[in-house]
Amino acid sequence: MVQFIKIYPDNPNEKEIAKVVKVLKDGGLVIYPTDTVYGLGCDITNSKALERVAKLKGIKLDKANFSFICHDLSNISDYVRQIDTATFKILKRALPGPYTFILPGNNNLPKEFKKKKTVGIRVPDNSIILELVKQLGNPIVSTSIHDEDEVLEYSTDPELIFEKWQHLVDVVIDGGYGDNVASTIIDLSEFEPVVVREGKGSIDFL
């Protein structure tokens, strides 16, 4: 039975966070708020859960471009190759924030992502998802939940998200209304930063 859990972003309730973490550890799928749109994700170390996310998105897992939500910069270094000073400065200026950074992956990536040369990393400015990742102890593999409605690309109302997804996931977190603008994607895997998609995050700092 799917759980609909209210968590307040300004002071996430530890008991509610623990409930969601248990679901993630058991291989469940969770929909959660970020500083941009609501996301769908699972524990990065759970193969079955990763397959479920890929199936929901209608793609093969080895072709999927999921991003990893990390708790902080030190968490990022677990999965990416040595970060140079210039890259580190960019990350430090931008995170936590509404950005996805594409970085060269390292050998710690789960086997499902071993073939990938790069990974998308997020550290959203949202206390609910950051607390989840922190308590879980692993990054959460994440993808945004698109809406079929052509006018609204992303659902922002947690109750409507619950109605739509309740038979597909294990938990929907109500963390208040979400945004309908996705993250800005910046590729830092080459010598110069490349803006792949301009979203919510400003690129003035580049």
pTM metric for this prediction? 0.94
Residue of 101, 127, 105, 124 whose CA lies nearest to 114: 105
The tens digit of pLDDT for each residue in 29-80 reads 999 999 999 999 999 999 999 999 999 999 999 888 899 999 999 889 889 9
Look up the domain containing 67 and give its range: 3-197
- Which stretch of DSSP H or E encloses residue 156? none
Q: Is residue 204 part of a domain?
A: no
Q: Which two tokens stand for residue 117?
A: 């040369």
Q: Is residue 142 part of a domain?
A: yes
pLDDT at 151: 59
Q: Is residue 203 part of a domain?
A: no
Q: Which two tokens stand for residue 38?
A: 């609501």
Q: Is residue 63 part of a domain?
A: yes
Q: Sheet harboring 184-187: ordered strands across?
A: 3-6, 171-174, 30-32, 39-43, 140-144, 67-69, 118-122, 99-104, 184-187, 194-197
Largest Cα–Cα separation, the chain: 48
The tens digit of pLDDT for each residue in 61-74 reads 988 889 999 999 98
pLDDT at 205: 85
Percent of the chain with pLDDT over 90: 78
Q: Is residue 205 part of a domain?
A: no
Average pLDDT for the chain: 93
The tens digit of pLDDT for each residue in 85-99 reads 999 999 999 999 999
Which are the contacts of 28, defined by CB distance < 8 A and separation ≥ 6?
42, 49, 169, 170, 171
Residues in the chain: 206
The tens digit of pLDDT for each residue in 118-168 reads 999 999 999 999 999 999 999 999 999 876 666 566 789 999 999 999 999
Q: Is residue 52 part of a domain?
A: yes
Q: Is residue 202 part of a domain?
A: no
Could you tell me the pLDDT band of residue 115, with boundaries at 50, 70 and 90? confident
Hey, which residues does 116 pair with through a beta bridge?
none
Where on the phi/psi map is residue 196: left (φ > 0), alpha (ψ -120 to 50), or beta?
alpha
| R_g (Cα) of the chain, nearest Å | 16
- What is the CATH classification number for the domain harbouring 55? 3.90.870.10
> How many domains does one find in the chain?
1
Could you tell me the pLDDT band of residue 192, with boundaries at 50, 70 and 90? very high
| Strand-pair category, 39-43 with 30-32 | antiparallel
pLDDT at 165: 95
Q: Is residue 154 part of a domain?
A: yes
Hey, which residues does 3 pair with through a beta bridge?
171
